[in-house]
Amino acid sequence: MQYWLMKSEPEELSIGDLEATPAKAFPWFGVRNYQARNFMRDTMQVGDLAFFYHSGCAVPGIAGICRICSDSYPDDSQFAVGQPYFDPESKPEAPRWYLRDVRFVARSRLLPLAELRTWPQLAGMRLLARGNRLSIMPVSEAEWKFITGELMGLPS
């Protein structure tokens, strides 16, 4: 089992969208950073858990948990001419961008970025590193257990 943090702007996809249809798989599309893509394409596994992080909003933070529920496959948004995630260099026979599907696991109280920064147990968390802008990143088992147990009150 590996643990992740995946950022989404809530107006595009929110934890509430997943919670409203918990049996539905949602494609995590639009990732346009090679390192984040590589995590999704090469490292994530079906069954891994991820913190669902609301970004690009008034109060960014962890809003819940989702589960990786598919193998990686090409992100069709890269081929959608005129759309925000279109990549003219990517071709269907040689796609650049991949995604995975996720499903709802749990909603939590919003754990704001500012609050996460106050916990010494999270001092080494990649999310909190200066200049980090990755939309997908690994989370250590210790960080996962601290956040789910101490901050979310979920069994670890």
Measured between alpha carbons, how far is 21 from 18 in angstroms, rounded to an integer? 6
pTM of the predicted protein model: 0.95
> Which numeric CATH code is attached to 3-151?
3.10.590.10
* Residue 32, helix vs strand vs coil: coil
Indicate the domain borders of the chain. Answer: 3-151
Taking all residues of the chain, what is their mean pLDDT, rounded to a whole number?
Answer: 96
Find the Cα–Cα–Cα–Cα dihedral 124, 31, 55, 17, rounded to 10°.
-120
Provide the pLDDT for residue 75. Answer: 97
Query: Residue range 107-123: average pLDDT?
Result: 96
Tallying the residues shown for the chain, one arrives at 156
